[in-house]
Each structure stands twice: as C-alpha cells, then as structure tokens.
Amino acid sequence: MAGEESALLLFEDAMLFTYSAALRAVAALGVADHLADGPRSSADLSVACGAGADGLSRIMRLLAGRGVFHEDAMGRFHLTRKGDALRTAAPLSARAAVLMLTDDMFWTTSHQLATNVCDDDPSFEKLFGMPLARHFDDPEREALFYEGMATVSDAEDQLVAGSYGFPRQGTVVDVGGRSGSLLLTVLRRNPGLHGILFDRDPVPTGRPLDIQDVADRWETAEGDFFIEVPPADVHVLKRILHNWDDDNSVRILTNCRRSLEPDGRVLVIDAVIPDGNAAHQSKSMDVMMLAALTGRERTAGQLDRLFDAAGLRLDRVVPTPSVMSIAEGVAC
C-alpha cells in the first residue's frame, strides 16, 4: 500500500467520531420518532425537532451514508431497518444506549486518553473534578446510564441465555443483577430453576421479574459481593468483573467459590477479547473502560489467572452470537 493511500485511510478513520456525534444528535432530537409515520423533508423534520433545517439535513446525509436513514430523490428522509431502532417505542430501542455510550463520561475521557495513559495515577476526578460516584448524583444522568445499560442487556440476554446449557434444577444467583433481566430470561428458558437476584441496593419497583410466569421461582437478596454471595448451583456475573481491577475481581470470584454448591459453576459473562489482530468490539469496549478509568475487558488467559487465584478452574469459554462470551469456572 502506497504511503499516500495509507495516510488517506487514516485521515478517514480519524473522522469516525463524526458518526458517533451525529448518532447522538439525532437520538437527542428524537428524529426517528418523527419519521415513524413515513418520510419527511429536512424542513419538516427541523420544525418537528426544533432544529435548523440546513444543519439537520447535513447530519441526516452523513447518517444516510451509514444506512441509518435513506434520502430519496425528492430530498425526503426515510427510516431504514437500522434506523428504526432509534425510535423510542421500537421493540428494542437503541436510543437510550446511544445516548449513554456517547455521554461525556466516555466522550471526554476518550479525548484525554493520551494524557491518562501517560499518567502514573490517572483518575476520573482529575478530569471531572469529582469522583465517579458523584458523577451519578445527577438523577437524570444516573437514569440515562442505567436505562442505556438495560437496553444493551435486553439486546444480549436471549443470545447469552440460549448459548449455555443451564442445569435442569437448582438455584441460579444473578450477582449484581440490578433489574434482573438476564435472570428472567434464564428462568423462562429453564422452568426447573429457582433464581435469586442479588444486589447491594434495594431492587427498584417495576422490575422485569414481576410477571406471572416466574412469580413463584425467584427472590431477592441484598448484600455486598465483596463480602459474600448467596449459595448457588450457578453464579452468574454479567458485566461485573469488567468494572473492577484484578484484585477486586479475585475477591468477588473467591466469594462465589466459597458459596458454590457441589458441582456448581461460576459464569463470568463479559466481552472476552480474542487472540490475534482482527477487529473485535471487545477491543473498543476495553479502550472505553481504559478511558473512563473504571475497569477492563480481558482475554481468556487473563480470566484464567483470575479464576485460578480464586480457587476456580476456567473450564471453557462459550461464545455467543453477541459480543459477550461465557467463561465457565468450576471448583478446583
């Protein structure tokens, strides 16, 4: 590849942030909601969204080039199948997740990545003037974050639960499961299982598990997974270890090991980074975690070392149709 061609490709790559920015803009303005009933011109859309017609048209044109919208010969914009997921009322809406993933918690910290990676003691507080916990004191920011994460989980849960052979009977503990959406999916697919939703804070009302078909097969337990977790045949930790450094991850796994029933399993469900140079979403997620200074994604080898330190053996890593994989640990 000639040097000029290589440079031109990198120039294009360096501008990819404009796609994320455009996605955030149309998600914030609710553009997809205004296209639900059919195509509209940028002038019509600008009135509906309270945006400038010229600027909105230019943003939509960029997104049409990425398959989010389609611009016809009359200059009207249509929703595509991809863009339909931006509707608030879509069966599986991505709107909250797009806003969460482009929040300045990730946006600003990613911009400062070169500074942070050279800092002997990088911290969220240095960038934002407050610790990460206080960042979520704003109720709207906290609600957006958890709604976005719930949206991501909803898109993954069926794919994850369908990729693993859970036991026919026994107890499954969703460790740090918050809303319980994964536990609900597991219980529905495995009618002989009993579930425990374990989390530190009181479980909010209106949770997904409050439905008739699993009403008598689950309960809540409050506690701190750094201290202990309830006994179980299967402990499920989805997007838990990736939030923590190795020492804290070993503490969590050790507590799971101590409370495992005979022949029990610990399932770490995270974006396991594959070997090799191929592009993979887990690598982008890992850099987001690095930028936000909150944790990391791991390779199978790195998870193996954590399991070993906690008295577990990494038995296998089960891929799923999503970016998530299931690392299965058994007692040594």
Cβ neighbors of 14 (< 8 A, separation 6 or more) are: none
pTM for the full model? 0.89
* Residue 141 and residue 295 in contact, taking contact as beta carbons nearer than 8 Å: no
CA dihedral 247, 251, 253, 254 (to 10 degrees): 130
Q: Which one of the listed residues 135, 194, 235, 242 is annotated catalytic?
A: 242
Of the candidates 298, 184, 292, 188, the residue with the CA atom closest to the CA atom of residue 239: 298
DSSP string, 87-134: STTSTT--HHHHHHHTSHHHHHHHHTHHHHHT-SS--HHHHHSS-HHH
What does the alpha-carbon distance between residue 159 and residue 40 come to, in Å, rounded to a whole number? 35
Of the candidates 105, 209, 211, the residue with the CA atom closest to the CA atom of residue 157: 209
Question: Across the chain, which distance is largest between two alpha carbons, in Å?
Answer: 67
pLDDT tens-digit series, residues 40-65:
999 999 999 999 999 999 999 999 99
Of the candidates 155, 332, 141, the residue with the CA atom closest to the CA atom of residue 239: 155
Domains of the chain: 3-93 (1.10.10.10), 132-331 (3.40.50.150)
Strand pairing partners for 325?
A: 270, 319
Query: What pLDDT shows up at residue 52?
Result: 95
What does the alpha-carbon distance between residue 176 and residue 238 come to, in Å, rounded to a whole number? 8
Buried b (16+ CB within 10 A) or exposed e, 46-74: bebbebeeeebbebbebbbeeebbbbeee
Query: Pairing relation of β-strands 232-238 and 218-222?
Result: unpaired
pLDDT tens-digit series, residues 265-276:
999 999 999 999
Q: Is 242 a catalytic residue?
A: yes
User: Consecutive sets of 10 residues in the chain, 332 residues long: mean pLDDT of each?
Assistant: 83 95 98 97 95 96 97 96 97 94 88 85 80 82 86 91 97 92 94 94 63 87 96 97 96 98 97 95 93 88 98 98 97 92
